[in-house]
Amino acid sequence: MRDWTGSVFRTAGQDTFSAKWKDHAKGWRKTLGFATKTDANDFVADKRTEYRRRARGDWSEADEHARTPIAEHVEAFERFIAGRSRRRNDTRDDKHRKLTAARMRHAFEQMKVRNLRGLTLDACVDFLAGLLAGTATKPTGKGDSKPSSIATRNDYAQALRMFVAFCVRTERLLRSPIDEHTLPDLEAVDRKRRPALTAEQVALLVAAGPQRVLQRGPKATRVNQLVIAHRRALTVAIAFYTGLRNSELARLSWSWLDLRERVLTVPPPAS
């Protein structure tokens, strides 16, 4: 089977480019609407590679998905989110779907990913690091870029993991370049390394609540605010010195406490 070259030319009457290429089964075809000549040339090169591999018989559907524009995969991902959602609040579902898709488009724009072949672990790591450093521009493009919070960075990481998992499930990717181990949430890592409070720090924390009420609390509600502050301080102190679980603190009762013996007895939960 003879090879072909193809051609790229400016679209008549428009500020875009068109490409002429040869399909393995349908013959010569034309594709319109490329923003730059480079995009059109890359498209023709991909089509030529596909043509040769189909002729040799070593072409797969994953290869076809790999050269599909990333925007088409994002649209399919957005439809997948809309179809999978089972919550009753339609407004919330729609907002979540649009926000996740917008984050994907912003991430791929910053990473300069045009298709799935450009989606690599290094590109994702560099983009997420740029969010924290402030080098990744905002989706709105307004003003100077500022460092994003860890929570925002984790939201982008989760969206990327969801997108890649979707591509693997739908056989758009043969294997995942990222997962929760290679692209972890930073808060989970920081929480494991966070040191425990010392007794001195707990004492300062217990005293800070009532002091803040006395310094800044409104006079009209100061008494009630002091009661609440002392209750919270007592809860912090009991949690630190006894090691009670949250569920045990929630059902804490005066009957558990023996003031004379200075003993706190925690009964088993009712079955």
Whether 150 shows a pLDDT value over 90: the answer reads no
- Answer yes or no: are the C-beta atoms of 211 and 203 closer than 8 Å: no
Least confident of 4-18, 75-89, 232-246: 75-89
* Greater pLDDT, 220 or 242: 242
Whole-structure pTM value: 0.53
* Among the ranges given (146-160, 185-199, 203-217), the one the predictor scored with the smallest mean pLDDT: 185-199
**pLDDT value of residue 163:** 92
121 in Cβ contact with 182 (< 8 Å): yes
Neighbours of 188 (CB within 10 A): 10
- pLDDT tens for 49-89 read 878 877 787 766 666 667 788 888 898 898 888 776 654 45
CA distances 202 to 52, 150, 185, 195, 228, Å, are: 70, 26, 28, 13, 18
What is the dihedral sign for C-alpha 235, 241, 243, 244?
A: negative
Q: Distance between alpha carbon 78 and the CA centroid of its chain, in Å?
A: 14
Q: What is the pLDDT of residues 218-232, one digit of tens each?
A: 777 888 888 888 888
pLDDT of residue 263 exceeding 70: yes
